[in-house]
Amino acid sequence: MNIMGKTPKIVVIGSSNTDLVVQTAQIPKPGETVLGGSFMMNPGGKGANQAVAAARMGASVGLICKLGDDWFGRQALKLFRKEGIDTRHIRTDAQKPSGIALITVDRQGENCIVVAPGANESLMPSDLDQAIPLLERAGFLLLQLEIPMETVEYAGELAGRLGLTLILNPAPARELRDGLLRRTSLIVPNETEAEYLTGVSITDLRSAGMAAQLLAARGVATVILTLGAKGALICQQGILTQVAAPQVTAVDSTAAGDVFTGSLAAGLSEGLDLEEAVRLACRAAAISVTRRGAQSSAPFRRELEPLKDQEPQR
């Protein structure tokens, strides 16, 4: 069992990476070399980030991922256990190294990321079959797109078969089959990902609403489009609802979307209604952008309370 002694309500299937981060004044253009500042090495990967974010919100979480048989993998496993995450179905690949992400962060907190997936590429449907006892006892399945698409699609099939609420964060942006979208209870793209999936150029709230409705038309029950400092836009049963985010000074947006998605899943798993779960996620993401790093930026639940006073009145 996980060290919290609970059966996970949320199972995250996804990637685990180590982030190698360089701070710099501006992100270099193609062919350009810039002199950077500080260097940091942080645990990351979208799956792992979302699992940690959900666990820090108080959720009971299990993680299915694949690590290399190396220092990075052993360190990641140690950290997951420290967070109280159920690690029984984390696998080790003896042939491939653990995933690595090279991240450049500029002075405005914007980032540019290149990922070498390593062992993440070998997380296969057969690995999920071994974890079916874990999935059968869960209520929510959280997916991203840093693992093979055949595994993502098989996970979607399992979610449908087992009656799980499937939350899909379509990052990095990739083509998605309508069959997967129809099995998805909630899809959580950012503006870039929504543009990729719909072809709509998102420049304002109106165009964001158009993109969200187009995604819903492909069969997704609920679309939650994240808008950075502007919060999030919910599209459910054709109705659009904007949820504002607390205003903060960003220093690093790395993993803000992962913190949002993991916190959203945590809120839903404890029975919050959709809008309140989105508000919870906006608070958590707002705190994360004020900190550097990926998993290290995810706040604990107790840290969110002061932000309630900063939210616009409904």
Catalytic center residues: 258
Q: Which burial class, exposed, middle or buried, applies to 299 when counting CB atoms under 10 A from its CB (0-12, 13-18, 19+)? A: buried
Determine the residue type at 181.
Answer: L
Strand partners for 239: 236
Give me the DSSP letters along 259-297.
HHHHHHHHHHHTT--HHHHHHHHHHHHHHHTTSSSSGGG
User: Tokens representing 140?
Assistant: 């929510």
> Going by C-beta distance under 8 Å and a sequence separation of 6 or more, which residues neighbour residue 271?
none
Q: Is 1 helix (H, G, I), strand (E, B) or coil?
A: coil
> Going by C-beta distance under 8 Å and a sequence separation of 6 or more, which residues neighbour residue 253?
109, 110, 111, 228, 289
Cis ω for the linkage preceding 125 (within 30 of 0): no
Q: Is 61 helix (H, G, I), strand (E, B) or coil?
A: strand
User: Tokens representing 264?
Assistant: 């959203």
Q: What DSSP designation does 204 have?
A: S
Pairing of strands 99-105, 111-116: antiparallel
